[in-house]
Structure 1
Amino acid sequence: MRISSNDKRSFLPTTLPNGLKVLLVSDPICRKSAAAACVNGGHFNDPEGIDGLSHLLEHMLFDGSLRYPDTNGFDQFLSQRGGCVNAWTGTEYSNFHFDVAHEYLEQSLTLFCDLLFYPVFDLQGISREISAIDAEFKLKINDDLRRLYQVHKETCNPAHPFSRFSVGNQQTFSEYSPNQLQKALHNLHNSLYTPENMTLCVISQSSLDDMKNAVEQAFTDVPRKAPVERQSYPPLYLESQLAVLIKIKPIKVARRLIVSFAFPDVQDLFRTKPLEYISHLLGDEGQGSLLWHLKKCDWVTNLSAGGGINGSNFKDFNINMQLTERGLNCLEDILNALFYFIKQINQGTGEQWRFREKVLLGQQCFDFTESAKPIDEATHLSTQMFHYPTEEWLSGDHVVSEPDADIVEKCIAKLTPSNMRLKLVAPDLHTDKVAKWYATPYKIEAIETNLLQRLNSPDPVENLHLPEKNPYICEQLSTQPIEKHNLIPKQIVKQQNIQVWFAQDAQFSQPKGDCFISFDCKAVTQGAAISAYKRLWVAMMSEHLNDLFYQAGVAGLHYHLYAHQGGLTIHTSGFSQKQLQLSRQIFSLLHQDIDLSDRFEQIKNKQINNLQNALLNRPVNRLFTRLSGIVQRYTYPPMELLEYVKNATLEDIYQVKKSLFSDYYIESFLFGDWTHEQACQFAKHIESEAHNSSAPEAIKRDVIDLKNSKRFVNYVDSQHNDAAAVVYLQIPTANSHDVALTILVEQLFATPFFNELRNEKQLGYLVGSGYLPLNQHPGMVFYVQSPDYSMSKLVEEIELFLNSMIAQIGDFEDIWQHVRRNILKQLVDNDTSLSVKSQRLWLSIGNQDHQFNQQNALATAMNNLSFSDVVGFCQRLNEPNINGQLVLLCPGNKPSDEPIDGEIIKDLHHFKSHASYVI
């Protein structure tokens, strides 16, 4: 296997006697053990007439197995041991994955094997899971991506399995009795869930030998079966389905043009990656690029290239553009520019330096990739084991080992008008069809011959050209010498309104780093208008920076300018060699008076659309947005911001920018592969460029004190049919003791809450809970979104659950230490990547934790908890004069006549301006 020279993990690929391919990964710093099993089977394998059966099979595997028949038994086992389990069903693959505390890996693998190979398919469970799938289907009925996907299915070859309905719902399954479905599930499972048709990836701190023994103990006894017969499919598109325009009406305000080119499967070209080469050039965003030209013409605001569906005999290559209103009327000009640029790409294949850049960037990405969460990494690798030969399981996604201009040219030859499908998404299009299941209005029509001919010989476009050599690529990457006294963050600048911190990283030994520069601006305390205008200016400035520095991101040097409650922040990350130079340039540009007038109307319209579309978000999402807007002093709901954005003028934006930078407090942090001298030089630049200011400290991130004799209630309008309820419990203080109790009790409640309200009572598909700190103040939240029940019913059920748990908390004495031990392990474990560590240290600086021991203090508090502390905490949960309570509600299409008990927040501005804030 090809392994990066910087990868400190150990790997063992092996195959069990029954044919199961296994990849074992020993990672000494991973926080949890994880495993993922991938099955070479998905909804393409649904039997004729039972659409969604593979999806139902996925659900049923969690409904009990031969040796462990309890419904969701594996989920409960993992949740009590610091883990979780999940799964997905795709077109041709399905994946099941879990994580757990290291000491329970062996036992978990045994349970996992039983789940995968020995399900019981209980008849009652079948009915229950059909209801869950139906709720999942209803949840996505107004999802524009899902609606677009269904139109795609209806406009391809009906003989191809891609055309079929993959999700399933009550209607598709109701045509069959539970006994018939049970038999069909057995048949599908027996045909696909065989060791030779699956892969397994396991990641743990354990040694490779111990993992190998655990896997063999769990999986070796699974019998080998007859090989799965591989299916062959007809072409994805008929000839009449190419060179077509498909018009689609969305629910949210959107104007998009998706240009798709039909390819056969290109998986075997992974060593050359021709489509990545093409998408790299088409997706460029610097000056002279296709997007740069389309923006200048005010036709397009965003462009991405290279995505699209793919499978064993097809691949769509997509160019996805967000259109302006003007662009909607200039489609032929947009397409002309696209095909002219494709012609330039073809002519540029003789420039060998472009291939050398792509090879170098791919190798650097592979050599210096930061580890993902073990559960995500295992899921990804178990799927890649089907796509690449063993020696390329790790490198196949990144490394270009065989660059080939001829292969690239052959792929470019398929980017022709006659091989194209256009999808136009806009609100006011004329349509004549409605897609099944998601009721999407659409129309498909042939593209006019005259247009196809014009695009075959596109008119030249002035100033449109391929990108120059990338000045940000680092040819040689090596790390700086480590000085022990620099390993703990220290202030290297401490002035009235400027603080700069620096530390080196000795843990990950990568030539990378993170640089944060945060501006806390006094002007943000003046209300929502400043926040709205600040968002506009940040968006406009981000576009300007993208024109200048897009190539930096391509070279692995990333930058992000974002607004927050106190002001705004520049965050750069990635390779350290040229990063501080980039940070200094951005810092200087922010202080300059730059003419952004050519971007104003476009960005303003985009912001208006985003804020209006926020009103169409899922009810639960809307409630969480409102929760932040109520509790946090300087956070405002979309509706309040929308009015200011609609009426904003360019002069407003320039005036707010001036106000923001006239009085600010700067906090900066450099962490990674830099020397103390380099950090000091950077700090001197910040000092010399910064404006004089009287702001002596950061803006306080206040939260409203919700303690009251009654809880507070807020109703949120929604255009969604589902009702939703969120119950937020604000804990009295943010000391380590209260934080530890909040985290622990939420973990104790989480699995029972999900199982009772979603699985047993089937209130809806979106059910959950979480520890929710707002501005670092602890809280717990419980939420349900339902297509069938009113908001008052949802609140009633959440209250019943909480009351029941409080009454029965004594029953948790046997498992609470189990849960606490797993939380403690997460708190004291090492950071898993340089970026995770830098974010943790930056958060500590923001929280004034200058000893950088907040996590240790929390671990100590967690370790010192007694069960009587837990009992007392739970008994006080429902007392609003101790724990603040806020209930947020969306009525959906089932408004309730039953009043929700509490003090109703009618005027949010009045409420926040007269509220007390937590000290």
Structure 2
Amino acid sequence: MTPDSVPPAVLPQWHLLPNGLRLGFIQLPAGSQAAALVRVNAGAHDAPGEYPGLAHFLEHLLFLGSQAYAPTQSLMPFVQGCAGQLNASTRERHTDFFFQVPAAAFGEALKRLLDMLARPLLDPAAQLREREVLQAEFLARGRDRETLCDAAIGTALSCAHPFSGFHAGNRETLPVEAPAFQKALTGYHQRFYQTGQMKLLVAAPFSLEQVLELLQSDECQLPVAPNVARPIQPLRADDGGTLRLSVDGARPYLDIAFALDGLPDEACVALDVLGSWLSSQADRSLFQTLSDAHWCDAVSLRVPYWHDGQGVAVLEVQLTERGMAERAQIVAAVRDWLHFMSTQAAWSELWGEYAQIRQRGLMGKEPLALLRYWIDPAAWTPSIDTNRVQQALEMLGAQLHASRPIVLTVDGEGCARTKRIEPVKAGFELDLVAEQLPPSDRTGWQWRLPERNPWLSERMQPGVAALQIPSLRWVEHADAAGQGVLYLRWRFAAGQPPAGLWHTLHAALRRHAIAAAQAGVELHFDDHGHSWCLRLCGYAEALPVILRDLTDILKAPSPAAFNEGHRLRYESVTSGADEILIRQLLRRLPLLLAGAARDGDASLDQHALDQAWHQSHWDTLAVGLPRHLSGPLQTVLAELPGLAGPGAGQYDESTLRYCWSRFGQPGVETALVLFCPLPLRTTFIEANWRRLARLMEGAFFRRLRSELQLGYAVFCGYRQFGECPGIVFAVQSPSASASEILAHIETFLDGFAGTLDEVAAADPSTGNHDGDLRRRAESLWQAHLAGFEGDHPEAVAAASANLDARAIRAQLQALRDAEGGWHVVANAEAPDRRWHRC
């Protein structure tokens, strides 16, 4: 097997079971977590037209209990209690349900998943509550740029198609009190939630025979019926259209959308090939050409709809001010580039690098990520017929060249009230008008394929070397399977670095994150206030090469990166429309906790960066890398900016018990994040707080989201922000004020104290789950950031095995008393005088 070939262990083996269910199975090595994914081949476009959102609504309802499992014992609280992950997604023609848990919990999780799909309770009272959750989600999506863009594109289709309809659902479209709606709901469930419409994918560290035996249990029995045939309506946009959409707070974008129809099955893979090359930011790429002309900051491909040879493909260009004036040129350039790529570019080069990217991406994926990859019809496989994909690319290119695209400009400027387009069944209110693009002179384009990604092939000379850098900690990991994780932290003196320098480096690294991802490496660069952290995770052989090349960029970013840093610094103190508010608040927490000074007048230039690096100290953690990389890695580390060593790390952290930080302005929704740090950083207290957080997670979600219906963005859990561990509570609500949200959180904590013993007794604890590489590396790094020794994760796991309810109750009281402090970030002012502005 060549270094870049796909390990047989990540390829699913498909089986048709006697009941008609298709089962895909991947046997993982011992010690892995386990995952399952069910795809129901029915989605929003299959719901009754008189009840938009019914399919999405049913997806929500299925999580609210089943015949074998009451709501408090159903899949969501069970997976949360196992520290696992789960979710679901309703798309146009399919609905997915998926989870990942420790292997020991897989059987119970699968029983709960299949039982809820086959035998949901559909309780009328729960339906009323969940409709309010969908209403909150609808309100949030009504401000989401991509959602509104897709609705606007749908108005330009030249014949009726479900893509142009409204499918999100809201209070008005889901009349749960009506018998006709209940009949439609149960009818949709009975028609599609059966074996002929389902696929089950499993990735687990046990045998196929064990899975088949588990599927014989009563809870796993599914209704048996054949596949349901449904007609596909034509999808056309014969006249194209040029539109302008206003979205509050949005940066300028240009969407160039194509309606595609009648293509072979391989066309979705051919479109993925185009998307892979479109994402390149190397020399001669489409992005580089547009960026050199100062027309754009980013280029990407979205496919909001694809089914059975038809779909909508959107090439999205993030515009500069100059680009707004040259939109006609950009459209011409994009169309010319698509024509070149589908008819003139050397197929062997196109396919060769694409296949290598997909091969590399499959290495090191977590179980759930593997399943989500293989369920996609655009998934590349080693056995795919390349000739058929090439033919599909030619057919795709012919449609792209012959059709008139829908050209949509979106920005934050309100559209003129004249010539307004009234969308049919758009569901979302659209500030949309028809417009003509400004005229522009034609330019001849001389396209060539972008430079190949060197990180796919380049390697440093291997060599085993004694560890001579004191600030490097090297941790072995059995069965790393060619993967590794590398963390770097630069620490600065108080008052450093100047505001905006992190944004400059973030802008400089962002374009290289795509190339790193193509080489099988995730790149993250985080701002923790008085420290910056770089994480490289993935294909181990590529890590030293990537870090070597990034070092030059960190030392001397381009002038364009400094310009981008100025803009990003400004946007960092204002809320943007392209990201949910709760995520923006969470991103600000590390800065608040570090008490980092933010000097808005500090200069952003190379001299300021040189000074910051000169005063920095760095330390690093390498987990899972093979020993022959110890030499090249230390060679690269010797060239890093800053001085090797942990640095002082003593800052003026706030000692106030109640701190409140306001971010953004009050708006349609209120978002609040409450973070409660550990009162003392000891192994015993951390073990208790981790267990306490897991016990509260499901109950908090049920109380504030399902029962109180505060909103759809509700969660709590144990988190570490920068160097500070603790428990976080987060709520985004369209109805409650900040003071009301805070009061609900405090009331929940008071009530939870009375039920703690009962909840703890029913806790499905499955022990420590840090056996796989990524989880182990992250736990080691978080312990290091928090100032613990290297054996801290194991010590916490040992302490967790001996906790009792009395100790957990005492720590809940410490949390309620804010012994470690309460830190709030919200888009509102503090409700009372106990809070100090931070």
Could you tell me the TM-score, scaled by structure 1's length?
0.81
Structure 2 residue 716 is matched with structure 1 residue 769: yes
Please give the residue correspondences for 1:271-310 in structure 2 after superposition, counting only pairs within 5 Å.
273-305=269-301, 307-310=303-306
Alignment correspondent of 1:254: 251
Residue deviations 1:747-795 (CA, integer Å, cap 9, x gap):
1122222222222232332222111333443322323333223333332
Q: Secondary structure at the match of 2:720?
A: coil
* Structure-2 separation of matches of 1:69 and 1:515: 43
Are 2:103 and 2:204, in contact at CA under 8 Å, matched by a contact in 1?
yes
What is the CA-CA distance between 1:115 and the residue it aligns to?
1.5
Deviation at 1:317, TM superposition (A): 3.0
Which residue, out of 565, 588, 604, partners 2:529?
A: 565
Q: What's the counterpart of residue 210 of structure 1?
A: 210
> How far apart are the structure 2 equivalents of 1:82 and 1:346?
46
Q: Please state whether the residue corresponding to 2:815 is helix, strand or coil.
A: coil
Match of 1:156 in 2: 157
2:364 aligned with 1:370, yes or no?
Answer: yes
Tell me how far 1:186 sits from its aligned partner. Answer: 1.5
Separation in 2 of the partners of 1:355 and 1:800? 58
Corresponding residue for 1:391?
none
Instruction: Give 3-state SS (helix, strand or coil) of 1:95's partner.
Output: strand
Aligned ranges 1:102-181 → 2 under 5 Å? 102-157=103-158, 159-174=160-175, 177-181=177-181
Alignment CA distance shift 1:768-1:24 (3 Å) = same
Give 3-state SS (helix, strand or coil) of 1:903's partner: coil
Q: Aligned pair in 2 of structure 1 residues 34, 472: CA closer, same or farther (>3 Å)?
A: closer
In the alignment, structure 1 residue 345 sits paired with structure 2 residue 341: yes
Matched to 1:459, the amino acid is T
Residue number in structure 2 paired with 1:916? none
User: Does the aligned pair in 1 maintain the 2:115–2:220 contact within 8 Å?
Assistant: no
1:553-604 deviations in Å (ceiling 9; x for gaps): 6444666666543444555555455653443344345445x7x445544553
Q: Deviations over 1:812-862 (max 9, x none)?
A: 4523xx44x32x232xx411x4x5555555555555556x31111111221
CA distance in 1, matches of 2:78, 2:776: 30
Q: 2:472 aligns with which of 483, 495, 500?
A: 500
Cα pair 1:736 1:858 within 8 Å, conserved? yes
Q: Distance in 2 between matches of 1:656 and 1:767?
A: 40
SS at match of 2:399: coil
State which drifts further: 698-707 or 115-124.
698-707
**1:542 is the counterpart of 2:509:** yes
The CA distance in 2 between the partners of 1:551 and 1:799, in whole Å, is 46
The answer for the alignment partner of 1:697 in structure 2 is 646
User: Which amino acid letter does the alignment assign opposite residue 492 of structure 1?
Assistant: Q
Unaligned runs of 5+ in 1: 389-393, 909-919
Cα shift at 1:739: 0.6
Cα distance in structure 2, aligned partners of 1:813 and 1:421: 56
1:604 aligns with 2:579: no
CA distance in 2: counterparts of 1:679 and 1:101, whole angstroms = 32
Separation in 1, partners of 2:59, 2:514: 42
Match runs of 1:254-653 below 5 Å: 254-264=251-261, 266=263, 268-269=265-266, 273-305=269-301, 307-345=303-341, 348-350=344-346, 352-366=348-362, 369-372=363-366, 374-381=367-374, 383-384=375-376, 387=377, 396=381, 401-402=386-387, 405-416=390-401, 418-428=403-413, 430-431=415-416, 432-433=420-421, 436-444=426-434, 459-461=443-445, 465-468=448-451, 470-474=453-457, 491-494=467-470, 499-502=471-474, 506-510=478-482, 512-522=483-493, 525-526=494-495, 530-539=497-506, 541-542=508-509, 546=512, 554-556=518-520, 563-568=527-532, 571-572=535-536, 574-577=538-541, 579-588=543-552, 590-591=554-555, 596-597=558-559, 600-609=562-571, 611-614=573-576, 618-625=580-587, 627-634=589-596, 643-644=600-601, 652-653=604-605
Separation in 1, partners of 2:455, 2:78? 49
- Aligned partners of 1:764 and 1:279: how far apart in 2? 35
d(CA) in 1 for partners of 2:645 and 2:18? 69
CA deviation vs aligned residue, 1:728-757 (integer Å, no higher than 9, x gap): 333311111111111111111222222222
Amino acid in structure 1 at the alignment position of 2:421: K
Return the offset for 1:658: 2.0
Distance 1:32 1:713 in 2: 39
Change in 2 beyond 3 A, CA 1:774/1:361:
closer
Q: Tell whether 2:692 aligns with 1:745.
A: yes
Shift of 1:53: 1.2
Range with greater deviation from structure 2 (21-30 or 854-863): 21-30
Q: Is this contact kept in 1: 2:63–2:116, CA < 8 A?
A: yes
**Identical columns (%):** 20
- Give the Å deviation of 1:666: 2.9
| Residue in structure 2 matched with residue 912 of structure 1 by the alignment | none
Aligned counterparts of 1:552 and 1:753: Cα–Cα separation in 2: 38
RMSD: 3.8
For residues 80 and 342 of structure 1, what CA distance do their matches in structure 2 show? 49
The equivalences for 1:33-52 within 5 A come to 33-52=34-53
Matched to 2:182, the amino acid is Q
1:883, distance to aligned residue in structure 2 (A)? 3.9
CA distance 1:264–1:889, change in 2 (3 Å): same
Secondary structure class of the residue paired with 1:493: coil
Higher alpha-carbon Rg: 1
Local SS of the residue matching 2:154: helix
**Contact 1:40–1:92 under 8 Å retained in 2:** yes
Structure 1 CA distance for aligned equivalents of residues 305 and 117 of structure 2: 27
Q: What's the offset of the Cα at 1:51?
A: 0.9
SS at match of 1:859: helix
Change (3 A) 1:307 1:860: same
Cα distance 1:238–1:95, how it changes in 2: closer, same or farther (>3 A)?
same
CA contact (8 A) 1:265 1:314 kept: yes
Q: Deviations 1:265-299 (Å, cap 9, x if unpaired)?
A: 656216x9333333344433122322222222211
1:859 to 764, 788, 797: 797
Q: Is 1:98 the counterpart of 2:99 in the alignment?
A: yes
| Residue aligning to 1:661 | 613
Change (3 A) 1:295 1:396: same
Which residue type is aligned with residue 825 of structure 1?
N
Counterpart check, 1:679 vs 2:630: yes
> Does structure 2 retain, via aligned residues, the 8 Å contact 1:670–1:679?
no
C-alpha distance in structure 2 between counterparts of 1:132 and 1:75, whole Å:
16
The equivalent position to 2:835 in structure 1, one of 904, 909, 915, is 904
Q: Distance in 2 between matches of 1:562 and 1:790?
A: 30
Gaps in structure 2 of 5+ consecutive residues: none
Contact 1:620–1:725 (CA under 8 A) maintained in structure 2: yes
For normalisation by structure 2, the TM-score amounts to 0.88
Which letter maps to 2:505? V
Say whether the 8 Å CA contact 2:242–2:407 is kept in structure 1: yes
What SS does structure 1 have at the residue aligned with 2:334? helix
CA distance 1:409–1:335, change in 2 (3 Å)? same
Instruction: Measure, in 2, the Cα distance between the counterparts of 1:97 and 1:186.
Output: 22
- Summarize deviations over 1:77-97 as a string: whole Å, max 9, x none: 444455565322111111223
1:239 deviates by: 1.8
Flag the 1:780–1:182 CA change in 2: closer, same or farther, 3 A: same
Q: Distance in 2 between matches of 1:363 and 1:840?
A: 28
